[in-house]
Amino acid sequence: MPSVAQPKHQLATLGLASFFALILALAVFTPSSSAQIPDVTVQISDTVGAAGTQNSVVTVFLDNPFDTIAGFELWLRIDNLNLAEFQTDTATIIDTFFYVLDTTVCIVDQNDDTICTFFDTLEVTEADPFEVTIIDTFDVVVGNIDTTGTLVAGWDLVASRSIFGVGNDVKVTALARGTPQSTTPLITPQQGGVLFRLLADIKPIPDTVTDNVAGIFIEPFLDEFNISSPSGASLGIAQFPTVDTSFFRCDSFVPPDSIICASYTEVSFPPFDSLFIDTIDVPELCDSATVANDSLGNCTGTEYILLRRGSITVLPGNCGDINGDGNVGLPDLSALIDHLFISFSPIDQVAANVDCSLDGNVGLPDLSVLIDHLFISFTPLCCEI
């Protein structure tokens, strides 16, 4: 059957319709230009383990696709000490302080000898000229940190300190180059690298506890948070204009009318005689919460930092003790094989989750782990590590 030519005006209409359909598709599927891609993402891993597990590994990952990082300070906290705590220890550190003599009073005694007394000192760095050195020791609570094979392996400074000292927090401070002569590698743009690892212990909680997840998060307080570029600039910090009100109370007036105040004292509560309203710039971290509420666009064009929480999920029972006799051995392996391939009879899914998978599913990976544990490498099960 011969083909029928389409009228030119119909072809033009079809072409125009296809063009608009393409434009609509691009509008729907193209990301908005206003949506910011994080310049830096810090991700805390999700960890799972049985009650009483020691040495659970909390891994912190870093994505910095655009910026080079030369140092950072991150304060990690656990929100439920009843379930888990960071491993900590007490260490004695030696600290050296350097001072210059700031205020000196000298007198000449009856023998014409000059006697000088120093009333004040000013602390300086080791690189500055100094006149007095004081060496002291301090007991500090440190976290159990592992940097082997991480992005900060070999850095000049990696220190972990607990601010509260009760196991619910560890602050990690790291600096690639402690001196101008240092050539330690920086963290150049990359994604998915391990920044560091912390060890945590899971409490031996009873199986009756239903709230079995402890959150791990990074505090965004600027006093305890910083990610720095090689120039020393802090990434992800923006200035937000904030209204600041100051209150003053007059201490004394100029006589005789007592209208003009001779001296003021700033106060934080009534009564007060006058107030002063000003707008000041307050630095804030451009994290996900700040960006979401940033109606003035202060974070636009500024590095956006995304902090992702992690967790420790406590599994009840003893992984590996599938038959419930209190031991892990051949009877447990037989029970697992019977469940997977023979009778398919129900078993304790928590105890059989010997690979500690987050989804809790029991399958061939658990069988491989248990065989390896019992007969090959004798590697401890994840709940025993």
Report pLDDT for 183.
Answer: 95
State yes or no: pLDDT of 201 exceeds 50.
yes
**Looking at residues 179-187, what average pLDDT do you find?**
94
Report pLDDT for 372.
Answer: 92
Report pLDDT for 83.
Answer: 93
129-163 residue pLDDT tens: 777 788 888 899 999 999 999 999 999 999 999 99
Residue from 208, 203, 212, 190 nearest 46 by CA: 212
State yes or no: pLDDT of 34 exceeds 70.
no
- Domain architecture of the chain: domains with CATH: 40-87+144-236+286-314 (2.60.40.680), 90-140 (no CATH), 240-283 (no CATH), 317-376 (1.10.1330)
State yes or no: pLDDT of 213 exceeds 50.
yes
Report pLDDT for 155.
Answer: 98
State yes or no: pLDDT of 65 exceeds 60.
yes
The better pLDDT of the pair 148, 357 is held by 148
Report pLDDT for 88.
Answer: 95
Q: Which region among 24-38, 129-143, 156-170, 300-314 has the lowest average model confidence (pLDDT)? A: 24-38
Where does the pLDDT of residue 120 fall: very low under 50, low under 70, confident under 90, or very high at 90 and above? low
Q: Which region among 167-171, 194-198, 289-293 has the lowest average model confidence (pLDDT)? A: 289-293
Q: Tokens for 215?
A: 């959150």
**Looking at residues 299-324, what average pLDDT do you find?**
84
Dist CA 278 CA 157 (whole Å): 41
Q: What proportion of the chain, given as a percentage, has pLDDT over 90?
A: 41
Dist CA 153 CA 193 (whole Å): 12
**Looking at residues 233-239, what average pLDDT do you find?**
87
Beta strands in 176-272 (DSSP E): 190-202, 213-218, 226-228, 237-253, 261-267
User: Could you say which DSSP state residue 372 is in?
Assistant: I
Dist CA 317 CA 328 (whole Å): 12
> Which run of H or of E encompasses 59?
strand 56-64
State yes or no: pLDDT of 334 exceeds 90.
yes
Dist CA 82 CA 175 (whole Å): 33
Report pLDDT for 30.
Answer: 43
Where does the pLDDT of residue 187 fall: very low under 50, low under 70, confident under 90, or very high at 90 and above? very high
State yes or no: pLDDT of 348 exceeds 90.
no
The three-class DSSP label of residue 378 is coil
State yes or no: pLDDT of 44 exceeds 90.
yes
Where does the pLDDT of residue 35 fall: very low under 50, low under 70, confident under 90, or very high at 90 and above? low
Residue from 385, 202, 340 nearest 349 by CA: 340
The better pLDDT of the pair 328, 311 is held by 311
67-90 residue pLDDT tens: 999 999 999 999 999 999 999 999
- 186-190, 344-348, 370-374 — which one is most confidently predicted on average? 186-190
Report yes or no on whether pTM surpasses 0.85.
Answer: no
Report pLDDT for 181.
Answer: 92
Straight-line distance from the first to the last Cα atom of the chain, in angstroms, rounded to the nearest whole number: 78
Where does the pLDDT of residue 322 fall: very low under 50, low under 70, confident under 90, or very high at 90 and above? confident
State yes or no: pLDDT of 281 exceeds 90.
no
